[in-house]
């Protein structure tokens, strides 16, 4: 009798497991994905796991690398109200690499990128329809700004500034359609103006002025220093 009880118990457990599997990767009557979905790589590791509602991703989706299922490498959090998802990318060790929002496959809005510690910011970039658009900043490890620049439809457009790791302005440039255009100013590490002039299509135009200790100087004197 005891043996029959054990067999019956295993039968119930097996039946429950089958029923659980049947509830995964389902379609509704309209042929749309619904409920929990799990996809696998050819080697049997989980590729992603998440929920669908009438064919649309909802809630949290976790994506894994082919070599390990210990930590997700991408976590997407979907909303039922829009197509925008909050997205975070991680290393295979689970360290945060970047985060922001996506509309489908396109980055949108502010994205933040991190050093290998997952905390110190490398850069902040703004996107529109998957292209850099608006202000971008990069940082030194000490948190001071390395560079600020502006993009439009993926190309440099507007002012660009570069700084030393002490926060001193080194270059003050302007771009148009991805090329140096307009007024340019260059400074030394003491913050003193050393050179200024104009660019057009990446080429210097007109007269350029050079300075030494705040006073007009010859080009060769400034370059030598």
**pLDDT tens digits, one per residue of 151-204:** 999 999 999 999 999 999 999 999 999 999 999 999 999 999 999 999 999 999
Token pair listed for 3: 């043996």
Asked if residues 171 and 161 have their Cβ atoms less than 8 Å apart, the reply is yes
Residue 209, pLDDT score: 97
The verdict on residue 218 lying in a domain is: yes
Residue 205: strand pairing partners = 198
Any domain includes 219? yes
Alpha-helical regions (H) of the chain:
2-22, 219-224
DSSP letters spanning 24-42: SSEE-TTS-EEEEEEEE-T
Higher pLDDT, residue 32 or 2: 32
Classify residue 139: in a domain, yes or no: no
Residue 173's domain comprises 157-225
d(CA 64, CA 69): 6
Phi–psi pair at 150, nearest 5 degrees: -125, 140
Does residue 191 form part of some domain? Answer: yes
Distance CA 115, CA 121 (A): 6
Task: With beta carbons less than 8 A apart as the criterion, state whether 97 and 87 touch.
Answer: no
Residue 82 falls within a domain, yes or no? no
Give per-residue pLDDT as tens, 19-39.
444 589 999 999 999 999 999
- Please check whether residue 114 lies inside any domain of the structure: no
pTM (two decimals): 0.84
Confidence of residue 80 (pLDDT cuts 50, 70, 90): confident
In a domain, 161, yes or no: yes
Task: Name the domain count of the chain.
Answer: 1
Q: Is residue 166 part of a domain?
A: yes
Residues whose CB is less than 8 angstroms from the CB of residue 46 and which lie 6 or more positions away in sequence, other chains included: 38, 39, 40, 64, 69
48 and 59 Cβ atoms separated by less than 8 Å: no
- Supply the pLDDT for residue 92: 94
């Amino acid at each position: 009798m005891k043996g029959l009880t054990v067999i019956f118990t295993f039968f119930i457990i097996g039946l429950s497991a089958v029923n659980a599997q049947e509830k995964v990767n389902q379609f509704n009557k309209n042929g749309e994905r619904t409920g929990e979905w799990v996809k696998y790589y050819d080697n049997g590791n989980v590729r992603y796991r998440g929920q669908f509602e009438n064919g649309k991703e909802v809630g949290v989706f976790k994506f894994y690398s082919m070599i390990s299922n210990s930590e997700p490498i991408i976590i997407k959090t979907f909303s039922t109200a829009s197509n925008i998802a909050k997205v975070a990318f991680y290393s295979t060790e689970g360290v945060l690499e970047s985060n922001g929002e996506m509309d489908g496959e396109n980055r949108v809005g502010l994205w933040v990128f991190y050093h290998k510690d997952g905390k110190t910011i490398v850069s902040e970039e703004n996107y529109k329809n998957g292209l850099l658009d608006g202000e971008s900043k990069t940082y030194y490890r000490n948190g001071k700004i390395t560079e600020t620049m502006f993009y439009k439809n993926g190309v440099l457009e507007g002012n660009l500034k570069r700084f030393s790791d002490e926060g001193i302005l080194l270059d003050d440039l302007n771009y148009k359609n991805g090329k140096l255009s307009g007024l340019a100013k260059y400074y030394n590490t003491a913050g003193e103006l050393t050179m200024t002039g104009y660019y057009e299509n990446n080429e210097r135009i007109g007269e350029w002025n050079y300075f030494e200790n705040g006073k007009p100087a010859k080009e060769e004197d400034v370059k030598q220093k």
